[in-house]
Amino acid sequence: MKLRVLGCSGGIGGNLRTTSFLLDQDVLIDAGTGVNELSLTEISMIDHVFVSHSHLDHIACIPFMVDSTWAMRDRPLNIYATRETLDILKQHIFNWKIWPDFTEIPDALRPSMRYRPIALGETVVLGERKITAIPASHTVPAVGFHLDSGAASLVYSGDTTCNEALWELVNRIENLRYLIIETAFSDNEREMAILAKHLCPSLLVEELKKFHGKAEIFVTHLKPGEVELTMQQIDNGVHGQRPRMLSNNQEFEF
């Protein structure tokens, strides 16, 4: 499996793109503005989108993806998410008011998009690839994802705050090679981080104390304008493990 980072910022501006990862050639993990890194042909090759939660920075490009490529494709685009997240997409995005309902285009028998409900802990198998929804704690229903090739694994936390259930699961993954975890705010905005159910450096430090495995750790979802400050605060607080900043076009093979 190969994961390419299309976007990993907590905002936009210049070359900043919000969260989206391309798995091999046909799977997206979240679909923020990072999808704009792909050509139209590359977008048309994507068959599966796994959505961690319904916030705009993680779903922004789904409407444009399906609208731009439906006529190029002979099969629906599969959208995997919890039932709660899919209900939000149905009610507030693909509702014929904000955007057309592509589960009915060109018609209900030949949809351009199909909803695929997944439950927490459920594993979707795509060939030899296993993608499992794992616990996240956020202001809306949310999950992270465990990607397993068999040989090695990568865990993406999704948007989350302090989360005991995540570490109980992660500590049981014997072949874990990479851990991508969010830190959206600096410690200067600790109260905002707590209110918004995100992590800040001091919270991340406490969370990483619960991690007993071995993996390379990367920090995602940094807010524009506070990237250097936030990473410095992480470096000052973490002992032993040294998380690194995730960057656009970074690739992971596992």
Token output for 192: 């905002």
- Examine the pLDDT at 2 and tell me if it is beyond 90: yes
27-58 residue pLDDT tens? 999 999 999 999 999 999 999 999 999 999 99
- Examine the pLDDT at 89 and tell me if it is beyond 90: yes
Task: Calculate what percentage of the chain has a pLDDT beyond 70.
Answer: 100
- Examine the pLDDT at 75 and tell me if it is beyond 90: yes
In this prediction, residue 239 carries a pLDDT of 83
- Examine the pLDDT at 17 and tell me if it is beyond 90: yes
Identical fold, 1-81+83-117 and 119-242: yes
Write out the DSSP string of 63-74.
HHHHHHHGGG-S
Average pLDDT, the chain: 97
Q: How far apart are alpha carbons 160 and 19 in whole angstroms?
A: 14
138-196 residue pLDDT tens? 999 999 999 999 999 999 999 999 999 999 999 999 999 999 999 999 999 999 999 99
192-220 residue pLDDT tens? 999 999 999 999 999 999 999 999 999 99
Task: Calculate what percentage of the chain has a pLDDT beyond 90.
Answer: 98
In the predicted model, what is the mean pLDDT of residues 63-92?
A: 97
The torsion angle over the Cα atoms of residues 56, 58, 61 and 62, rounded to 10 degrees, is -100
In this prediction, residue 241 carries a pLDDT of 79
CB 182 within 8 A of CB 160: yes
- Where along the chain do its domains lie? 1-81+83-117, 119-242
**Across the strands, what pairs with 114?**
78
- Examine the pLDDT at 131 and tell me if it is beyond 90: yes
Q: How far apart are alpha carbons 198 and 195 in whole angstroms?
A: 8
Q: Give the CA distances from residue 94 to residues 59, 63, 98, 118, 159, in Å, rounded to whole numbers and listed in that order.
A: 12, 8, 7, 19, 23
In this prediction, residue 107 carries a pLDDT of 94
Q: How far apart are alpha carbons 36 and 79 in whole angstroms?
A: 18
Token output for 185: 């705010």
pLDDT band at 24 (very low <50, low <70, confident <90, very high): very high
**Across the strands, what pairs with 153?**
148, 176
Q: Per-residue b/e over 59-83, b at no fewer than 16 CB within 10 Å?
A: bbbbbebbeebbeeeeebbbbbbbe
**What's the whole-model pTM score?**
0.97
pLDDT band at 93 (very low <50, low <70, confident <90, very high): very high
In this prediction, residue 240 carries a pLDDT of 79
Topology of domain 119-242, CATH: Metallo-beta-lactamase; Chain A (3.60.15)
Give φ, ψ of 188 to 5 degrees: -65, -25
Where do the DSSP E strands lie in 123-170? 123-126, 129-135, 143-148, 153-156
Token output for 76: 């629906």
CATH number for domain 1-81+83-117, candidates 3.40.50.300, 3.60.15.10, 3.10.20.30, 2.130.10.10: 3.60.15.10
